[in-house]
Structure 1
């Protein structure tokens, strides 16, 4: 797996994240994609297109 540093973005933390233990998922929406990262490893993450992100959300919120 290839890792790269994500550019500076406005990150939002999930309301379902566990604030006490540092288990936090963060999301940043940009014009061309959506980035997701673990707050414990902020320099790494994944980027997906908007359609893929919407499909993912549809599955996990069903």
Structure 2
């Protein structure tokens, strides 16, 4: 697992919650520790701890 990746828009591990919202807009699902964005047949998820991105995942929807 790599911790030095980022989205084309600039979100990476360590990005603050407010900055992620500025860059990506409102998520389709917003929980305390997870935001998810539906992207056609995939879902992009951000997982937060201490109001910063700790993990990002891109999964294919079934």
TM range (shorter): 0.3 to 0.5
Larger Rg: 1
Structure 1 or 2: larger helix share?
1
Structure 1 or 2: larger strand share?
2
